[in-house]
Structure 1
């Protein structure tokens, strides 16, 4: 099986389901023999972007660094799955241009749903003023205008969302085979 490198970029609010969907996409593609790397925003922040804060400039730099690593892997025919809030349209577009083979997946869930799923208690802290510049509460999230795939994780099952992502992935691979 020949694969064409690409980046599957999952964006959405904290708690929307990016890591859950991304992990399952990676699992299914790996099981099928694809070379896949998973860059989860929470893990990347502890290694590659350690020391960056949450100002707009730092968030943009975080996404640029993830984008650069994704670009390197993609050009070597690796499938890269990124799960990162990446709240700003402009820097997502910049990363799309850098990478080229890029599939934007909007992991969409209502703010209420994300707050209910908040296992880390971050929304509660943001609402109490303990966290400033929290995306979706005190800092904006700019949803994609025309995502390649939109998963409504408060309305569909994990499997339904994963299948939508995989179908678009296979369409891309078949076109570029």
Structure 2
């Protein structure tokens, strides 16, 4: 018995179904592409992945681990083409784990026009990022400095005492908090 060739109607229906499936896959991939940045940011903030620090409210209560100190080192950088000087007021602090601390960074616009910058940050060793918590930071918002303006920018932070119970951090004696300021592009600001 011979099989009949598919009718043009069956072929059109299969082609439409294939086209709809391909369009659905494409739209799903596009949606995942847009969602990947915020999802990755949330993942990093929750886990401290890649040295991402935590964020807390000023009213958060943390138990101070008296007798447990740690050295915090501050690193500052500016991206190429960023006309700022940027440095920590004090390059290191010895802190009590769990106690709130404040570090000051100083930025100066060396150009003859206003410059807006945004700071990216990370913590090393990276596994300590899950325990380094910022309450207030200049890195949470863009900073605009007028020509020649110098500002003092605080960071209020603490190291969560849970770091003392983490086997991955048992040898951590110093944490480095590093910032890099990047210029905010003017066309990006206008949108």
Same fold, TM-score > 0.5, yes or no: no
Taking structure 1 as the reference length, what is the TM-score of the superposition?
Answer: 0.28
1 or 2 for the larger relative contact order (CA 8 Å, sep ≥6)?
1
Which has a greater percent of helix?
1
Taking structure 2 as the reference length, what is the TM-score of the superposition?
Answer: 0.26
Which has a greater percent of strand?
2
